[in-house]
Amino acid sequence: MSHFSQVKTQIRSLEPLQKALTDLGVNWKSGASPMRGHQGATTEAELVIEQDNGYDVGFQWNGSEYSLVADMQYWQQPWTVESFLRKVTQRYAIATVMGESTNQGFSLAEQQVREDGSVRLVLQRWNG
């Protein structure tokens, strides 16, 4: 028997989440829509990633953050669930920092991916 599982995240904003998924090359659709699950089961999600096997992955708003929702038995992404969440969370953080920094007049001067996979951002702002 399969069912939808929810994985807590620290993701609280939809726009940086969408940017993170796009940066990772993941196709998604936004707007509350049904996610397909086992034996025709569905659940609503604010962002849905359709999979070729007919079982979707999505992000649902729980009132304070987005949870990753999927029938883990039918996970069909190029990464494990844990690796996927690490990558999405990292790209989400970068998108959030860049969005806030741009709002405060900063621009990206340099972006470096380090050997350990961490990302170093150098921002600058000209005062004049």
**Residue 128: which pLDDT band, with cuts at 50, 70 and 90?**
low
Who wins on pLDDT, 93 or 41?
93
Summarised one tens digit per residue, pLDDT across range 42-74 is: 999 999 999 999 999 999 999 999 999 999 999
Cα 2 from Cα 37, distance rounded (Å): 8
For residue 2, the model assigns a pLDDT of 54
Place of tokens 């690490």: 86
What three-state secondary structure class fits 73?
Answer: helix
Place of tokens 């726009």: 15
Cα 115 from Cα 127, distance rounded (Å): 34
**What percent of the chain lies above the pLDDT cut of 90?**
88
CB 28 within 8 A of CB 19: no
Who wins on pLDDT, 128 or 1?
128
Assess whether pLDDT exceeds 70 at residue 87. Answer: yes
Cα three-residue angle 75-116-96, rounded to 5 degrees = 70
CB 82 within 8 A of CB 29: no
For residue 12, the model assigns a pLDDT of 97
